[in-house]
Structure 1
């Protein structure tokens, strides 16, 4: 059983490895600093009673330009969005079907935040083709010419209802 909490200095990140060094090192070196500077909020999964990080995801705010989306999707020039900046699962837990569960956890947290700070889209920047395929399988639509994908927050709310 995992418990999800905001990352703090008590969490053990030193042994976290997801197979992508960029994600591992960001958690260890930058996540707390980003939170202190209000540039990203990181949430970690730990097994109950443990402080060792088993998975994490980070959010930041952003805007999408209307030109990035189909014209029917946007009536404003700049559209508020939440960016799932990082999502990573320790290699020890990979292959157990937990990636989609972690993504749903991020969806739920974003929906709670959306009640206070309204955004229209949930956006991800896939690191590679595998990540791109993962997000497409979970209802995201790609923005042509990029590795960026998005889902409408209203669509996520309906999916989780």
Structure 2
């Protein structure tokens, strides 16, 4: 219970003052089993906690100073790097722009092909062969033409034998 009360107080203000110590000591005095030795322990704990918090604050302060110094130094170094690169970059871009303008102004004359009539790449292509439609083409259903044959006598006899009624009389 003492530890949780101390933890709550430390979380709240990050330091212990006299009011906090009095609040904890009044809570301890009403709690059975705690006496003056608990208050002495609490005082030493408060001193140790305040000392640790001060050391931590000092470390935070120093780390903030180091971070700010390094950040400023890197910013200055980067600015100087950009200044050194600015002139060569500007010169190279101006050179590229001038060369492009000169190329546009003085276009090279295209002499063309020597003899297009004999060059096979200039000859007219032949007519392509018709494509064979596949079975997936829309409206394309393959069909097989079956030739009709005259029925044979044997097949007619089989049909007559299977017939349930008398077909001899019309």
Shorter-chain TM-score above 0.5 = no
Normalising by structure 2, we get a TM-score of 0.14
Select the structure of larger CA radius of gyration.
2
Normalising by structure 1, we get a TM-score of 0.15
* Higher relative contact order, chain-length normalized (CA < 8 Å, sep 6+): 1
Q: More helix per residue: 1 or 2?
A: 2
Q: More strand per residue: 1 or 2?
A: 1
